[in-house]
Amino acid sequence: IEMHFLPDINVVCDVCNGARYNAQTLEILYKGKNIAEVLNMSIDEAVEFFKAVPKIASKLTTLQDVGLGYITLGQNAVTLSGGEAQRVKLAKELSRSDTGNTLYILDEPTTGLHFADVDRLVKVLNHLVDLGNSVFVIEHNMDVIKNCDYIVDMGPEGGAKGGKVIACGSVKDVAKNYKKTGSYTGEFLAQELEEMKKK
């Protein structure tokens, strides 16, 4: 229901009970599941369900690789966060044949991700770079930042008190010079590097 002065609301259909298909369509089964049941599966469940169909399984595995195993196949695109939507686009790109000449620009792709999925995303981004592509990421997540080849740190603060390049270079360079540059990112990276030395 579209209401111009309020956000749209969804009402469950009293004919199909939200299944989105008529009874005749729902009678058709694949491996004991109808289309509504398949669309209600998470990506993780669907990878297992479609493992015998390589074309489908490979696309689903790509979605899993970028940390989207928890979303459902039939999830409405407008319910995805910005980070999730970017990762869907990234998965689409990853499923194409790679030229090694692509520039990827991602704006906070870790939004809403569990730390284990951040790790998976970092591996995917590193894989893109290994193939010869360039990846620019706008990010606050230290697990992503500490894996970058080159950092451009904007600051010194956010909003009107920011917008200047205060530090740039490798992870070690930004961490080493944080007292001189006033880089909060550098300070956190220095702590991360110190923790890594202890392990």
Residues 100-114 have pLDDT tens digits of 889 999 998 888 778
18 is a domain residue: yes
Is residue 26, in this structure, part of any structural domain at all? Answer: yes
Residue 14 lies in a domain: yes
Q: How many domains does the chain have?
A: 1
User: Is 35 part of a structural domain of the chain?
Assistant: yes
Q: Is residue 152 part of a domain?
A: no
The predicted structure's pLDDT at residue 17: 77
Whether residue 24 lies inside any domain: the answer is yes
**Secondary structure, 3-state, the chain:** CCCCCCCCCCCCCCCCCCCCCCHHHHCCCECCECHHHHHCCEHHHHHHHCCCCHHHHHHHHHHHHCCCCCCECCCCHHHCCHHHHHHHHHHHHHCCCCCCCCEEEEECCCCCCCHHHHHHHHHHHHHHHHCCCEEEEECCCHHHHCCCCCEEEEECCCHHHCCEEEEEECHHHHHHCHHHHCCHHHHHHHHHHHHHHHC
Structure confidence at residue 1 (pLDDT): 59
Is the distance from CB of 34 to CB of 27 less than 8 angstroms? Answer: yes
- List, for the chain, all residue ranges whose pLDDT scores fall below the cut of 70: 1-4
Residue span of the structural domain in which 31 resides: 1-40
Decide if 101 is inside a domain. Answer: no
